[in-house]
Structure 1
Amino acid sequence: MVFEQVATGGCQSYLVGCNETCVAAVIDPEISQIDRYLGLAARDGLRIRYLIDTHTHADHFSGTRELARQLGIPVVMHRESPAPFVDMRVDDGDMLLVGHLRARVIHTPGHTRDSMCLMVEDRLFTGDTLLIGATGRTDLPTGDPEALFDSLFRNILRLDPTLRVQPAHDYQGLGSSTIARELAENPRLQKRDRAAFVEMMRSLNLTMPTHMTEALRSNMSGGKTVAQLLAEAAAKVPFMALADLKARVEAEEGDLIVLDVREREAYETGHIPRARLLPRGQLELRVNHDLPDPTRRILTYCELGCISTLAAATLRELGFQRAVALDGGMQAWREAGYPVKSGAKP
């Protein structure tokens, strides 16, 4: 079996493949690691056949949908998943054929209603159901401590104790564990009375995951993240360096339009000399009046460089093929000690 573990902070994802048939699956892919999965598969001569999420993630952005778009292969999740883009919905006991490997689905609700584990040879991919030294939390949407108790003590903890536990999270860099080790050492698994376990889970008082709202929105609906939108926009436009813009402004380069896409208050507080004001929220409504010549070179900037990247990409889509974005923003311009003009005029 080909096995690769990819860490993204504390999040863990896996590439599992069959040596003989060169077929593979990616489990719990993170969207920022897409090129890495593709690179690993290419290095080992593997063709990815399945993209599997063990549950609806609230703490990282799933890469299944984007990989599916690129590769034309199915997204696999449990039938309880709310995501509309799932191609293959599986149930307890179903098996996925990854070449000569068999990935058996074990439905393990508790962390979420759609949580499942996958058993592949001597490894159990546990998602957030069982972690190293912990378990998945049950205070997020569709979490249920009663269900988690059953999934653990009446299901996966009764499997072969030598099975290697490969969780979707590992914040200590341990890599893996075994069922036997978790039964012996995992503090949460020492609460083997149902009532005591449920009370413990309800009393954890954990902080909410970073970007939880955006992660749930993206993973449940298939919508894009802000980072995706920015990355896609950045791939469509060229950029200009701060020093280059300063030189062009000082030379009063006539062909260049400098466009401040912040709001009026920010513009009047301080802007780049010669910059016009056209707030991003009004761009599409005012572009024909304010920018009548699509052949002009237009540079957009904002406070930090994000909104201006989106604005430049929009201008390119509208036909302004010489639109560029500032590499940085007004904050970086000020920190560089470059000239700033205040007031309502350019």
Structure 2
Amino acid sequence: MLFEQIATGGCQSYLLGCPDTQCAVLIDPEISQIDRYQGLASRYGVRIRYVIDTHTHADHFSAAHRISETLGVPTVMHQVSPAPHAGLRLGDDEMLIVGNLRIRALHTPGHTRDSMCLVVGDRVFTGDTLLIGGTGRTDLPTGNPEQLYDSLFGKLLTLDPALLVYPAHDYKGRTHSTIGAEIAENPRLQKRDRAEFVQMMRELNLAAPTHMTEALRTNMTGGKTVSQLLADAAAKVPHIGLEELRRHIDGGANNLLVLDVREDAAFRSGHIPGARHLPRGQLELRVNEEIPDPTMRIVTCCEFGKISTLAAATLRELGFMRAVALDGGMKIWRDKDYPIET
């Protein structure tokens, strides 16, 4: 079996492949590693056939939907997953056949309602059901401590103690464990009485994951993160630097329009000399009357250079093909003591 473990901070994802048939699967991919996954697949000479999420993640952004669209392969999740983009749904004890690999799904609700573990040969990919030295939390949407107890003690921990455990997260640099080691040493698994385990889980009082709402929104629906939206916009538009724009302004150039897309109060407090004001929220509604010449060269600007990038991408979609975004924003412009008009 071809095997590669990819760490992204504390997130763990996995590429598994069959060397005889050059077929592979990705398990729990993270959005920032898409190019790396494709590079690894090329290096091993395998084609990714399935992209699997062991559950609906609340603490990182899944790459499953984007990779499945790019490669034209199914996203695989459990039957009860809320994600509409899951093209293949597995029930308990059902298998994926990938070349000579047999990937068996175990439904293990508790961390989330749709959590599943994947048994492949001598190892089990436990998602967030079982972690090294811990377990998944149960206080997030669809979590349930009673279900987690049943999934652990009634199913997962009854597997061969020699099975290697590969979780979806580990924040201490550890790569794997075994079922036997976790039974013996995992502090949470020492609470073997159901009521004691449930009480322990309910009293953990953990902080909410960073970006939880955005992660749940995007992972449940296949929507885009804010970072994805900005990256997609940046890929569609050219940019102009702050120094280049200042040279144009200082030289008295009249062949470009600086379009400030901030709100009114921010514009009034100080803007680039000669800039025209058109808030981003009114862009589509007012652009025809404000900028009647679609061939005009337009430089959009905002406070930090993000909203202006979205605005420039929108202008290009509307037919203003010479729209570009300022690389940076008014904050850096002010920090450089460049001229300001109020």
**1:187 counterpart residue number:** 187
Gaps of 5+ in 2: none
State whether structure 2 residue 69 is matched by structure 1 residue 81. no
- Once the two structures are TM-superposed, the CA of residue 52 in structure 1 deviates from its matched residue by 0.4
Q: Does 1:134 align with 2:134?
A: yes
1:313 equivalent in alignment to 2:316: no
Q: Does 1:288 align with 2:285?
A: no
* Alignment of structure 1 residues 132-281 onto 2, 5 Å: 132-281=132-281
Post-superposition CA distance 1:145-172 (Å, at most 9, x none): 0010011111111111111111110100
The number of equivalent residue pairs is 342
Question: Residue type of the partner of 2:3?
Answer: F
Moved more, 228-237 or 182-191: 182-191
**Once the two structures are superposed, what CA deviation does each residue of 1:63-110 show, in whole Å capped at 9, x if it has no partner?**
111111111110100001011111111111001011101111011000
Paired position in structure 1 for 2:64: 64
Please give the residue correspondences for 1:110-129 in structure 2 after superposition, counting only pairs within 5 Å: 110-129=110-129
Partners of 1:253 and 1:18 lie apart in 2 by 62
Give the Cα–Cα distance (whole angstroms) in 2 for the partners of residues 263 and 214 of structure 1.
25
Structure 1 residue 337, shift from structure 2 partner: 2.0
Give the structure-1-normalised TM-score.
Answer: 0.98
Return the alpha-carbon distance in structure 1 between the equivalents of residues 240 and 132 of structure 2: 47
Q: Secondary structure at the match of 1:246?
A: helix
2:80 maps to a residue whose letter is: E
**Which secondary structure does the structure 2 equivalent of 1:87 belong to?**
strand
Give the distance between the partners of 1:165 and 1:311, measured in 2 at CA: 47
Q: Which moved more, 1:221-230 or 1:283-292?
A: 221-230
Q: CA deviation at 1:314?
A: 0.3
Q: Are 2:42 and 1:42 aligned?
A: yes
1:167-225, CA deviations, whole angstroms, 9 ceiling, x for partnerless residues? 11010011111111111221111111111100000000000011111111111112111
Distance 1:166 1:90 in 2: 20
Find the aligned partners of 2:128 and 2:335 in 1 and give their Cα distance: 44
Partner Cα distance (2:320, 2:47) in 1? 40
Residue 95 of structure 2 is aligned to residue 95 of structure 1: yes
1:266 is displaced (CA, Å) by 0.2
For 1:42 and 1:305, how far apart are their aligned partners in 2? Answer: 35
Quote the Cα distance in structure 2 between the aligned partners of 1:9 and 1:219: 19
Letter in 1 for 2:323: A
Query: Which amino acid is 2:321 matched to?
Result: Q
CA distance in 1, matches of 2:176, 2:244: 50
Q: Any gaps of 5 or more consecutive residues in structure 1?
A: none
Q: CA deviation at 1:323?
A: 0.6
1:149 alignment partner AA: Y
Q: Distance in 1 between matches of 2:235 and 2:4?
A: 29
- 1:12 aligned partner, one-letter code: Q
Stretch moving more, 159-168 or 109-118: 159-168
Counterpart CA distance in 2 for 1:218 and 1:64 is 11
- Report the 3-state secondary structure (helix = DSSP H, G, I; strand = E; otherwise coil) of the residue aligned with 2:25: strand
Q: Aligned letter for 1:2? A: L
Q: What secondary structure, in the 3-state scheme, does the structure 1 residue paired with 2:233 have?
A: helix
Query: Is 1:303 aligned with 2:324?
Result: no
Letter aligned with residue 306 of structure 1: K
Once the 2 structures are TM-superposed, how far is the Cα of residue 275 of structure 1 from its aligned partner?
Answer: 1.0
Query: What TM-score, normalized by structure 2, do the two folds share?
Result: 0.99
Q: Which amino acid aligns with 2:341?
A: K
User: Percent identity of the aligned residues?
Assistant: 68
**Using the alignment, how far apart are the partners of 1:111 and 1:183 within structure 2?**
18
- Separation in 1, partners of 2:252, 2:196: 74
Residues 11-46 of structure 1: CA distance to partner in whole angstroms, max 9, x if unpaired?
111111011111000001111111111110011100
How many angstroms apart in 2 are the aligned matches of 1:264 and 1:78?
48
Listed one character per residue, the Cα deviations across residues 254-312 of structure 1 (whole Å, up to 9, x for unaligned) are 11100100001001111111111110001001110111111111000111111000000
Partners of 2:295 and 2:253 lie apart in 1 by 15
Query: Which one is further off, 29-38 or 255-264?
Result: 29-38
